[in-house]
């Protein structure tokens, strides 16, 4: 319930009047330069300026006229800001509040002071013996050290820090641990590209030791961008406990875990099929795979190849099914098969048919002959793989290069022939010198030509297919059989499933339990080795005797007993001596496995490795298990499940009791935030603002194809024609939380987040305005209890306290249930709907009346206002830490509220609902008079009564309850209805003038407004008559158009419906004008008769 009045700017405070000890000759000059009179000085001392200069709370405006509406979303002009606060010191707030909210100025210095003061830390001695419900421990999902956070990460940070700050304010021992992941593949790729760009070398040119040294140098120089972003977001993590998954503490945990898994018989080495990146020359995990859907024949660039000579752009063909024939041994018959990867036929070791296919019964037990290398290939019967109704019903089998063929090969004990080198070239195993050394897709072309020459090619046709791409290199992945280390996860997975089923581990939203069960009940052994140099080098050594065993193969599974898993090389030597039955260590050669562990291995240990596991220590005892794991649902299996499995297996404890999965953040069109789409927004670009040119330049500096750059630039020019305005961290956090609805993806429109900057501005201006009412108010330590016991509260004050209690109750429920969107809406509604639009407006007359007779009423409203502001800021603080700290520190009474007063809002108690202070009667009374107030304001608007003119109202109600509420809150109705006087249920109808405007609220109540002398009826009638003359021709023209011959037959139904609605609109407008003219004529006549 705002008024036009509130949109005016607050004036600068008046100059201070002379003090008692001032020089008698001191003179205070007025605006005209003349000395002020004694009366003027008294008024000045009391703050009695001109009425039009009364302070208005929402400086900057959000309504009140067309010009104001046009500027509603325009941020105030930003003054140049210089942070004068020394790093780590508390901000000096003695200067007057800025007239408008500026995020950079408000958010400066607080983060450094919070950190320096140790507010984020938690004493393990304090937390050690506390029950679970009195402590809150959480580790951050460690982002990749190579990258920077995008808005999806910002949502994670907003949710996690909101929870941490809430628990901390509830008095819980709260620990929020930061960290980053070494991101093996990503980091190695970044540094390799840098090395090639700067020195023209690859990692092999400089060797492993020197390369790893350069990676560490890169990490130390460039790897801190994420910590800068987290600090800008206000994340209250304990930076003294910051971890890096390759630091000494985490590395020790990795070595211990690997050894314990091996000692338990869960870790082993084997030859198996997996994703292989020829560009990286490494196995990679499923999460590092992007899938490219091809609708049919498609030509693509392959960077590792020289280029297709048959294509003008050198691109290679994909998305086709190539058919060729295998000659049957000792027969003129041929068996036709089809493949999308023709080069793999060099590794074919069988052709499969269905045992019940009548076409091929005569081929049972027969062989085909490989047309290029003469290999004798068996025809096998496989009902599991072959669909006899699809294609020819015959399937070529390449066990070493296809997942389905791999399983078929195991079922039939086939030979597994790997035909590719680690970089994707044809090797000698294909037994075709003609193709040896060719890159795989060059070989594809050559093999097609060779089969055609032999008359065995049977044509090609478009085929829908999915290409698996390496997320890091963009390379097309190859299924390859390589020797790798595996962890048997079946037992761990069962325990993880049982933990959810028995309720000891909660997954929220609960709907994701199905995914949890599906993955873990169908789990396969985990390939944990990677062929990289950056990462945790596998703590395993291959042991051989220096004499006589120089040719022993590490990759022969028969020699697996020679792999010695140990914590140190010294321990490995001791074990090797026992395995080889040798007493002299000098006779043994140890060669450490060059591979490193999958990044997810160290990430899976994060909840306990960050606290020093496996070494007993106070942190581990106090903070493990943690309380909550909050992350995106996209890594439920890849990270969350592995943490649970490894925690149960290695510590015999769940690493946390609750998993909360927030939705995926997508762009406003529902697309995943992805560098490949060019739609990734850095949180700092929203916090500090970003020009359109900078956004476009960022796209150009990336690795996007020119076509994608053009599309992304077009999208950004459309979405951010003037760039992204500065919003600040508070607005970003609050806006992101507003989007969260459990279980649903977030289609994020940055413009909506920008809108929450306006809320920060309103928060700032409302507090600034309200503080001017509190300059002569001194709060007490037990202010709430004092005013509730005082008996001095008006209904409006009781209403405000009751609304505060309701808000406290809602926030407690919503935060407890992880309903962050609901919490955001509840806090937003409290501040705008209850405090600003209703209460502050209601108390204006009370605050301006400084008479002795109004002293107690004014004190009650001041106390209520202080409590509403102070508690309201605490309500918001977990979500909006910076602006709430700044405003809270500016409230009167800071430093005078007793021993329990805290130095910072983040350690102040989170507001709790006191049920006894919930006043349903006051709320109901306020709700009852709202329609009355709305009717008063509607009448003023209907008759265009200027805000400076107060009006007389006559209220009638046949409801005794409503009449009582109106009587009790007559002053409040007058305030918000801008009334000169209110007459309730007049007994004598003659007191009601004949010239009135009437608003019938319902069958029991109505409001009339005296129009006498307020309206120039003649002028209004003339205006309306002119408007009617303009509207009537529109009606006539549309009627003529509709009545034309052939209209219904020749005009589309859509246009006919549109014209019909236009005509109805014109006629309605004309009718309303005619009614208004008649109404004014009657009012004019009534006013004449009343004279």
Helices assigned H by DSSP within 877-1010: 881-890, 920-942, 960-968, 970-977
Residue 972 C-alpha from the chain's centroid: 42
Pairing of strands 996-1002, 1005-1010: antiparallel
What does the pLDDT look like over 1005-1014, one tens digit per residue?
889 999 888 8
C-alpha distances (whole Å) from 51 to each of 1, 230, 457, 552 are 21, 47, 95, 98
For residues 7 and 56, the answer to whether their CB atoms sit within 8 Å is yes
Of the chain, the percentage scoring pLDDT greater than 70 comes to 91
Predicted pLDDT at 713: 84
Q: Indicate the burial class of 787 (C-beta count within 10 angstroms; 0-12, 13-18, 19 or more).
A: buried
Q: Of all helices (H) and strands (E), which one includes residue 158?
A: helix 151-169
- Alpha-carbon span 1035 to 882, nearest angstrom: 58
What does the pLDDT look like over 685-729, one tens digit per residue?
999 998 888 888 888 776 566 777 888 888 888 888 888 899 999
Predicted pLDDT at 705: 67
Full-model pTM: 0.81
C-alpha distances (whole Å) from 732 to each of 84, 115, 585, 759, 834 are 25, 21, 62, 11, 24
What does the pLDDT look like over 484-512, one tens digit per residue?
999 999 999 999 999 999 999 999 999 99
C-alpha distances (whole Å) from 1020 to each of 720, 999, 1025, 1029, 1078 are 44, 20, 9, 14, 11
323 SS3 class: strand
pLDDT band at 194 (very low <50, low <70, confident <90, very high): confident
Is the predicted pLDDT of residue 971 greater than 80, yes or no? yes
More reliable by pLDDT, 415 or 21: 415
More reliable by pLDDT, 518 or 43: 518
Predicted pLDDT at 2: 42
User: Whole-number mean pLDDT of the chain?
Assistant: 88
Q: Which of 432-441, 998-1007, 1078-1087 has the lowest mean pLDDT?
A: 1078-1087
Spatial neighbors of 4 by CB under 8 A, at least 6 apart, are 64, 65, 947
784 SS3 class: helix
Nearest to 261 by CA among 626, 32, 33, 597: 597
DSSP letter for 181, please: B
Residue 426 C-alpha from the chain's centroid: 45
Range 573-590 average pLDDT: 95
Spatial neighbors of 100 by CB under 8 A, at least 6 apart, are 59, 60, 76, 761, 764, 765
Of the chain, the percentage scoring pLDDT greater than 90 comes to 68
| Cα-only R_g, the chain | 39
Long-range CB pairs of 608-611 (<8 Å, 24+ gap) are 608/253, 608/647, 608/650, 608/651, 608/655, 609/243, 609/245, 609/249, 609/250, 609/253, 609/254, 610/139, 610/177, 610/179, 610/241, 610/243, 610/249, 610/250
Q: Of all helices (H) and strands (E), which one includes residue 7?
A: none
Predicted pLDDT at 674: 66
- Alpha-carbon span 45 to 133, nearest angstrom: 53
pLDDT band at 19 (very low <50, low <70, confident <90, very high): very low
Is the predicted pLDDT of residue 1072 greater than 90, yes or no? no
pLDDT band at 675 (very low <50, low <70, confident <90, very high): low
DSSP letter for 29, please: B
DSSP letter for 740, please: -
DSSP of 455-490: T-EEEEEE--EEEEEETTT-PBPEEEEEEEEEE--H
For residues 117 and 904, the answer to whether their CB atoms sit within 8 Å is yes
Spatial neighbors of 732 by CB under 8 A, at least 6 apart, are 154, 158, 233, 683, 686, 687, 753, 756
What does the pLDDT look like over 275-307, one tens digit per residue?
999 988 898 877 678 899 999 999 999 988 999
348 SS3 class: coil
Three-state SS for 239-299 is HHHCEECCCHHHHHHHHHHHHHHHHCCCEEEEEEEEEEECCCCEECCHHHEEEEEECCCEE
What does the pLDDT look like over 344-357, one tens digit per residue?
999 999 999 999 99
| Residue burial 431-455, b: 16+ Cβ < 10 Å; e: rest | bbeebbebbbbbbbbbbbebbeeee
DSSP letter for 1005, please: E
Verify cis geometry, omega within 30 degrees of 0, for the bond prior to 625: yes
Is the predicted pLDDT of residue 274 greater than 80, yes or no? yes
CA dihedral 39, 43, 49, 54 (to 10 degrees): -150
pLDDT band at 250 (very low <50, low <70, confident <90, very high): very high
Is the predicted pLDDT of residue 1040 greater than 50, yes or no? yes
- Alpha-carbon span 681 to 675, nearest angstrom: 9
Is the predicted pLDDT of residue 848 greater than 70, yes or no? yes
- Alpha-carbon span 157 to 172, nearest angstrom: 20
Counting Cα atoms < 13 Å in the Cβ hemisphere of 111 gives 22
For residues 800 and 835, the answer to whether their CB atoms sit within 8 Å is yes
Helices assigned H by DSSP within 680-794: 683-687, 692-701, 706-719, 728-739, 750-771, 783-790
Is the predicted pLDDT of residue 679 greater than 80, yes or no? no
Is the predicted pLDDT of residue 437 greater than 90, yes or no? yes
What does the pLDDT look like over 340-398, one tens digit per residue?
999 999 999 999 999 999 999 999 999 999 999 999 999 999 999 999 888 899 999 99
Is the predicted pLDDT of residue 28 greater than 50, yes or no? no
15 SS3 class: coil
Three-state SS for 626-642 is CCEEEEEHHHHHHHHHH
Other C-beta atoms lying within 10 Å of the C-beta of residue 971: 17
The two most distant CA atoms of the chain are separated, in Å, by: 128
């Amino acid at each position: 319930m705002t008024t036009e009045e509130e949109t005016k700017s607050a004036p600068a405070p008046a100059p201070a009047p002379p003090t008692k000890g001032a020089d008698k000759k001191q003179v205070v000059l007025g605006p005209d330069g003349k000395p002020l009179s004694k009366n003027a000085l008294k008024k000045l001392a009391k703050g009695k300026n001109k009425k039009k200069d009364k302070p208005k709370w929402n400086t900057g405006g959000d309504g009140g006229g067309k010009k104001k509406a046009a500027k509603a979303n325009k941020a105030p002009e930003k003054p140049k800001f210089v942070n004068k606060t020394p790093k780590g010191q508390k901000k000096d707030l003695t200067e007057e509040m800025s007239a408008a909210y500026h995020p950079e100025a408000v958010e400066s210095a607080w983060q450094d002071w919070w950190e320096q003061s140790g507010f984020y830390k938690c004493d393990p001695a304090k937390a050690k013996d506390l029950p679970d419900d009195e402590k809150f421990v959480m580790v951050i999902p460690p982002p990749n050290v190579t990258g920077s956070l995008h808005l999806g990460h910002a949502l994670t940070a907003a949710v996690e820090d909101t929870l941490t700050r809430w628990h901390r304010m509830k008095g819980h021992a709260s620990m929020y641990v930061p960290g980053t992941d070494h991101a093996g593949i990503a980091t190695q790729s970044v540094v390799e590209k840098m090395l090639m760009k700067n020195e023209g070398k690859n990692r092999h040119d400089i060797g492993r030791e020197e390369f790893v040294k350069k990676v560490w140098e890169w990490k130390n120089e460039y790897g801190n961008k994420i910590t800068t972003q987290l600090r800008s977001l206000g994340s209250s993590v304990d930076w003294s406990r910051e971890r890096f998954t390759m630091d000494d503490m985490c590395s020790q945990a990795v070595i211990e875990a690997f050894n314990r898994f091996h000692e338990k018989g869960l870790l082993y080495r084997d030859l198996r099929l997996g994703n292989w990146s020829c560009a990286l020359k490494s196995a990679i995990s499923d999460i590092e795979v992007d899938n490219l859907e091809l609708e049919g024949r498609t030509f693509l660039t392959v960077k590792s190849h020289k280029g297709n000579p048959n294509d003008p752009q050198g691109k290679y063909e994909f998305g086709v099914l190539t058919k060729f024939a295998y000659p049957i041994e000792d027969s003129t018959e041929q068996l036709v098969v089809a493949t999308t990867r023709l080069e793999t036929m060099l590794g074919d070791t069988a052709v499969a048919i269905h045992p019940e296919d009548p076409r091929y019964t005569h081929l049972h037990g027969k062989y085909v002959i490989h047309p290029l290398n003469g290999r004798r290939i068996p025809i096998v019967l496989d009902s599991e793989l072959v669909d006899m109704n699809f294609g020819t019903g015959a399937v070529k089998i390449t066990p070493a290069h296809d997942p389905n063929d791999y399983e078929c090969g195991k079922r039939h004990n086939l030979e597994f022939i790997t035909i590719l080198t680690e970089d994707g070239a044809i090797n000698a195993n294909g037994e075709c010198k003609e193709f040896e050394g060719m890159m795989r897709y060059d070989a594809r072309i050559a093999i097609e030509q060779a089969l055609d020459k032999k008359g065995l090619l049977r044509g090609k046709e478009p085929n829908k297919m999915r290409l698996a791409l390496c997320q890091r290199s963009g390379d097309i992945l190859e299924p390859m059989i390589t020797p790798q280390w595996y962890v048997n996860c079946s037992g761990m997975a069962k325990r993880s499933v049982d933990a959810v089923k028995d309720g000891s581990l909660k997954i929220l939203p609960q709907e994701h339990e199905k995914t949890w069960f599906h993955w873990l009940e169908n789990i396969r052994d985990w390939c944990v080795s990677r062929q990289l140099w950056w990462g945790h080098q596998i703590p395993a050594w291959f042991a051989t005797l220096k004499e006589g065993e120089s040719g022993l193969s590490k990759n022969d599974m028969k020699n697996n007993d020679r792999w010695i898993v140990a914590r140190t090389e010294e321990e490995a030597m001791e074990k090797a001596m026992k395995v080889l039955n040798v007493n002299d260590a000098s006779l043994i050669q140890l060669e450490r496995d060059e591979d490193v562990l999958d990044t997810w291995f160290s990430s899976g240990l994060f909840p306990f490795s960050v606290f020093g596991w496996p070494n007993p220590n106070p942190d581990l005892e106090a903070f493990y298990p943690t309380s909550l794991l909050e992350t995106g649902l996209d890594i439920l299996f890849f990270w969350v499940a592995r943490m649970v499995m490894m925690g149960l297996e290695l510590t015999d404890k769940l690493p946390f009791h609750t998993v909360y999965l927030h939705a995926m953040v997508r762009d406003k069109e529902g697309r995943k935030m992805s560098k490949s789409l060019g739609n990734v927004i850095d949180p700092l670009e929203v916090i500090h603002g970003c020009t359109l040119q900078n956004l476009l330049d960022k796209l150009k500096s990336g690795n996007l194809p020119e076509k994608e750059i053009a599309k992304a630039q077009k999208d950004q020019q459309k979405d951010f024609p003037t760039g992204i305005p500065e919003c600040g961290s508070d607005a970003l956090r609050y806006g992101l939380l507003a989007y969260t609805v459990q279980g649903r993806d977030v289609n994020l429109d940055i413009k909506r987040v920008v809108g929450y900057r306006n809320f920060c501005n309103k928060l700032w201006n409302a507090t600034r305005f309200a503080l001017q009412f509190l300059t002569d108010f001194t709060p007490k330590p037990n202010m709430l209890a004092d005013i509730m016991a005082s008996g001095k509260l008006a209904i409006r004050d009781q209403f405000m306290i009751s609304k505060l209690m309701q808000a406290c109750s809602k926030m407690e429920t919503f935060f407890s249930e992880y309903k962050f969107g609901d919490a955001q809406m509840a806090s937003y509604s409290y501040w705008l709907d209850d405090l600003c639009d209703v209460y502050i407006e209601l108390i204006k007359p009370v605050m301006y009346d400084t008479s002795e007779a109004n002293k107690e009423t004014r004190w009650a409203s001041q106390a209520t206002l202080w409590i509403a502001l102070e508690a309201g800021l605490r309500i918001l603080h977990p979500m909006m830490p910076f602006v709430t700290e700044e405003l809270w520190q500016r409230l009167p009474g800071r430093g005078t509220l007793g021993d329990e007063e805290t130095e910072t809002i983040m350690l102040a108690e989170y507001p709790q609902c006191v049920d006894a202070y919930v006043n349903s009667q006051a709320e109901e009374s306020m709700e009852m008079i709202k329609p009355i107030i709305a009717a008063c304001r509607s009448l003023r608007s209907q008759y265009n009564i200027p805000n400076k003119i107060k009006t007389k109202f006559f209220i009638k109600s046949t409801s005794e309850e409503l009449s009582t509420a109106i009587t009790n809150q007559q002053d409040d109705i007058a305030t918000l209805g801008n009334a000169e006087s209110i007459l309730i249920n007049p007994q004598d109808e003659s007191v009601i003038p004949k010239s009135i405007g009437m608003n019938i609220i319902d069958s029991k109540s109505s409001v009339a407004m005296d129009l006498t002398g307020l309206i120039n009826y003649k002028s209004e009638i003339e205006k309306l008559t002119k408007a009617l003359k303009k509207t009537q021709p529109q009606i006539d023209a549309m009627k003529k158009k509709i009545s034309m011959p052939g209209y219904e037959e020749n005009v589309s139904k859509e246009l006919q419906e549109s014209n019909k609605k236009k005509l109805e609109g014109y006629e309605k407008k004309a009718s309303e004008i005619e009614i208004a003219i008649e109404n004014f004529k009657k009012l004019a006549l009534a006013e004449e008769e009343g004279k």
